[in-house]
Amino acid sequence: MEKITIGINQRIPVNIIELALLSAFRGDASAEYFKELAATEYNGPNRIKKAVRIINRLTIKNSLYPFLCEHKEEVTMALKNKNDRPLLLTAIICAAYPFGYDTLVLLGKHFHVQEQVASTLIVQKMAEKYGSNRSLFNALYCVLPMFIEAGIIARPVAGIYERTKAVKASDFALQTYRKAFLLNNPLEQEDGDFERNPYFEFID
């Protein structure tokens, strides 16, 4: 069986993703600036270096970045809008890391039938695809807090996750969210009827 790459092993606060993305839009993103951003969260050269790699993957090396770059003004406005921000940031995470997408789909599948999901269930189900190892645990404790910070899910108590209240997002935020889905499902047609997928459980 082909090994599935997880790819993410450090959490990046969403405000750092936002700052890095906006600097890229302005044309002044640099390795040095990303290193400065990473240093606000992590100590030690190795951890900072790993964080810079992930910041790059979430922004300028993200498959979604060309689309975001074409719509700089809409992205900037969406990041300031409390209804659009969760979908936009979640789309960025899911487009950068299929592991994040798979985690969100798993959550959506269970939120469709129940209000809360336990971390033990998330680990069990994700292990079926990615294997039960330390990398899986590390990655989950990167992407889950990032989704919480983005505002798409909440953790009312330790080990329990729930969906935040769905809100009416703008057409642009929905379009971006759909783009991230299509990047993870390249065989789907852009005009296809795919919104029954659990990924869309989080939108109004």
Span 181-185, mean pLDDT? 96
Q: Is the pLDDT of residue 96 over 90?
A: yes
Q: Confidence band (pLDDT; 50, 70, 90) for 2?
A: very low
pLDDT of residue 5: 79
* Residue 144: closest CA among 90, 84, 193: 90
Q: How far apart are CA 177 and CA 174, in angstroms?
A: 5
> Residue 5 falls within a domain, yes or no?
no
State the pLDDT confidence band at 1, using cuts at 50, 70 and 90.
very low
pLDDT tens string 108-130 = 999 999 999 999 999 999 999 99
Q: Is residue 95 in some structural domain? A: yes
Tokens of 102: 């798979």
Residue 99 has pLDDT above 50, yes or no: yes
- Is the residue at 88 inside a domain? yes
Distance CA 142, CA 8 (A): 7
Kindly state whether residue 3 falls inside one of the protein's structural domains: no
Judged against a pLDDT cut of 80, whether residue 191 lies above it is answered with no
* 200/204 Cα distance (integer angstroms): 9
pLDDT given at position 168: 86
Share of the chain above pLDDT 70, in %: 99
- How confident is the model at residue 43, as a pLDDT? 94
pLDDT above 90 covers what percent of the chain? 87
On whether residue 2 sits in a domain, the answer given is no
Q: Residues for the chain: how many in total?
A: 204
pLDDT exceeds 80 at position 204: no
**pLDDT for 37 beyond 50:** yes
pLDDT beyond 90 at 132: no
Q: Is there a domain that residue 177 lies in? A: yes
3-class SS string, 99-167: HHHHHHHHHHHHHCCCCEEEHHHHHHHHHHHHCCCHHHHHHHHHHHHHHHHHCCEEEEECCEEEECCCC
pLDDT tens digits along 42-52? 999 999 999 99
8 in any annotated domain: no
Q: Tell the residue number behind the tokens 């770059």, with chain if given.
A: 69
- Please write the tens of the pLDDT for every residue from 142-173: 999 999 999 999 999 999 999 998 778 999 99
What average pLDDT is seen over the chain?
A: 94
Structural domains in the chain (count)? 1
Q: Is residue 38 part of a domain?
A: yes
| Whether residue 131 has pLDDT greater than 80 | yes
What range does the domain containing 45 cover?
Answer: 14-202
